[in-house]
Amino acid sequence: MGDSERVPTIEAAGLTKRYGEVVAVDEVGLQVASGDIYALVGLNGAGKTTLIRMLLGMIAPTRGTVRVLGAEVSAGDRSAWARTGYLIDTPAAYSELTVRENLHLIARLRRLPGPAARVGEVIHRLALTPYADRRARTLSMGNAQRLALAKALIHRPDLLILDEPVNGLDPAGVVEIRNLLSGLAREHGTTVLLSSHLLGEVTRLATRIAVIHNGRLLTEIDPHRLHGQTRRLEVATRDDARAARVLAERGLSPAPAPAPGDGLVLAEEHAVEHPDRIATALVEAGCPPTRLVVREEDLEQYFLRLVGQADA
């Protein structure tokens, strides 16, 4: 199915939330297609949680609109609730009840058919079997997070909205949740929107990434194309000022390398793809390269550069 044929599961336009002087979310527009794993990444305080709360109808936007699963969301409106699972803030469970009892309670609240089987299924899915009969208050942080995810998943929702779902999990737990979420998207067509401050982690999982900073959606990234956006060509010559002029005359935008004395950096895709042409141009201008390297920026650097540009 082509992208254009897919009905967006979440559609937000001009979404804004102000708290007095603070603009927590600023004119955010986004579309999440059915079956997407859509990640919001941003530093602490970027506005991710506030945005998610508005998507869920937990708080009213100052301005803007949200549609979820075809229906307009307004604060207090629970119409999409039956088809949505969510995890937001500290996972709350009844601390004196066991894992199984907590899940039974949710299954009954949601009036699920065959509640015992559903509870068993979700306990197994979240690898909670060894802890099924432990009281919730005795769970480690990672297992408490698993229980919260089990509660979000028990009714097999079409849409999952998860605020920092891998918080508190150890590396093995992170991989487990990543596999669980990609399996749900792949096998059941579940749409997932999640937030994270770990760009590297979401790149392995997400089909699309939105970078949020100071309440604004800075850019959307296709993780599969990230590779092309994060490569740079570094060029050093005996006379970098002259080399910069030669390259600029050819329509390129050479910038000084971050470390002084390291030469020039070109970000243009055709420069990165064809360092031979750059070398030829420099040789013909009498300014041959002494070094020519394609470097891959790591994801954290890429993210910080984007955020840095936005701050500047």
User: Which residues would be at the binding site for ligand ATP (CB under 6 A)?
Assistant: 19, 22, 24, 42, 44-50, 197
Residue 54 in tokens: 């508005």
Of 257, 228, 197, residue with least CA distance to 46: 197
Q: Which is nearer to ligand ATP, 79 or 214 (CB)?
A: 214
Q: How far is the CB of 268 from ligand ATP (least distance, A)?
A: 33
Q: How far is the CB of 20 from ligand ATP (least distance, A)?
A: 7
Q: Which is nearer to ligand ATP, 164 or 240 (CB)?
A: 164
Q: How far is the CB of 27 from ligand ATP (least distance, A)?
A: 14
Q: Where would I find the H helices in the chain?
A: 48-55, 99-109, 115-125, 141-153, 171-188, 199-205, 226-229, 240-249, 269-273, 275-284, 299-311
Where do we find the tokens 């100071």? Answer: 214
Q: Which is nearer to ligand ATP, 23 or 279 (CB)?
A: 23
Q: Which is nearer to ligand ATP, 98 or 167 (CB)?
A: 167
DSSP-derived pairing of the beta strands 159-163 and 84-87? parallel
Q: How far is the CB of 58 from ligand ATP (least distance, A)?
A: 11
Torsion angle of C-alpha atoms 247, 248, 251, 253, degrees rounded to 10:
90
Q: Which is nearer to ligand ATP, 89 or 170 (CB)?
A: 89
Q: How far is the CB of 14 from ligand ATP (least distance, A)?
A: 17
Q: Which is nearer to ligand ATP, 177 or 210 (CB)?
A: 210
- Cα angle 149, 88, 65 (rounded to 5 degrees) comes to 125
Rounded Cα distance between 213 and 28, Å, is 11
Q: Which is nearer to ligand ATP, 50 or 203 (CB)?
A: 50
Rounded Cα distance between 154 and 110, Å, is 9
Q: How far is the CB of 294 from ligand ATP (least distance, A)?
A: 34
Contact between 202 and 299 under an 8 Å Cβ cutoff? The reply is no
Rounded Cα distance between 288 and 245, Å, is 13
Q: How far is the CB of 222 from ligand ATP (least distance, A)?
A: 22
